[in-house]
Amino acid sequence: MYEFLKRIFFPLLKVEPTEPVPPAGHENDERVIVMRASPDYLRYRMFYWKLYCAIWCISVIAESTALLIFDIHFLWLVIPVAIVAAFKAAVLYVVSRADYEMRWYTLTDRSLLIREGVWVVREITLTFANAQNVRVTQGPLQRYFGFANVEVETAGGSQSPEKKGQQHQAVLRGLADANSVRDQILDILHHHNNAGLGDPDDHRGGSAHQDALNPELVQAIWDEARELHVAVDRSWRG
C-alpha cells in the first residue's frame, strides 16, 4: 500500500529519494560515511501516526453518531467528513514513512551534511572547524524504542552585536548507535584541534620573535636612536 501511495504523492511533492552527495570539495576525503536513521525511529514515527489516527477516528465517530441521532438526514454530511479523515490519515502515513526514508546524514573529514524533510526538504551543512559541543540526547519514548539523537552545536558566524556568540544546532535524529557516532565526531574534532601543531610556519614565526628580542639587535637600535637624538639637539642649538 505504501509503495502505491508513494508513487502518487512523491511526484506531487517533488521528492527525490536519492542519496545525497558529499559537499563540494569533500569527495576525496578519507572518511565519507553515509548514515540513515534506525528502523526503530520509523516505529517511533508510526506510533505517533497510529495515536493520531485513533484520536481522529474516535472524534469523527463521536461527532457522526451525534449528528445521526439528531437527524438521519445528516448522513450526507457524515460521509464527506469520513472521506476527508481517511485521506488525511493516508497523507500523514506517507509523510511519516517518507520522513524516515528521506533522512540522510553524511559525515566527512571536515563537515557534516544533514538532509531531512518531506513538505520542506532541508539540507544543513556545517564544518567541524566551528563545532563546539557534541552530545547525545534520549527521551523516555526514544529510550523505549531504542534510539537516540546526536546534537552538534556550532558557533554563529554573524558579526552583528545582537547575534555575536549565537549558537546553531544540527540534530542527527533516530540513531541506533548514537554513542558511536558521537565518538567519531569527537575524534574528528580532536584532529581539527590538533591541526597546525608543529607547522613550519609556526616555527618561522617563533624564530622571528626570538630575533626581535636579540640583545645585540636591541643595543644597535639603542645606539642609533641616541646618535639621532644628539644630532637633532645640535641642530636646534646651532
pLDDT, one tens digit per residue, over 130-186 is 788 899 999 999 999 999 999 998 875 444 445 444 457 889 999 999 999 999 999
What is the pTM for the complete model shown? Answer: 0.67
| Strand partners of residue 33 | 107
Strands (DSSP E) along 62-190, which ranges? Answer: 104-108, 111-116, 122-127, 131-137, 148-155, 167-175
Q: Does the pLDDT of residue 7 top 80, yes or no? A: no
pLDDT, one tens digit per residue, over 70-97 is 777 666 677 787 888 888 888 888 888 8
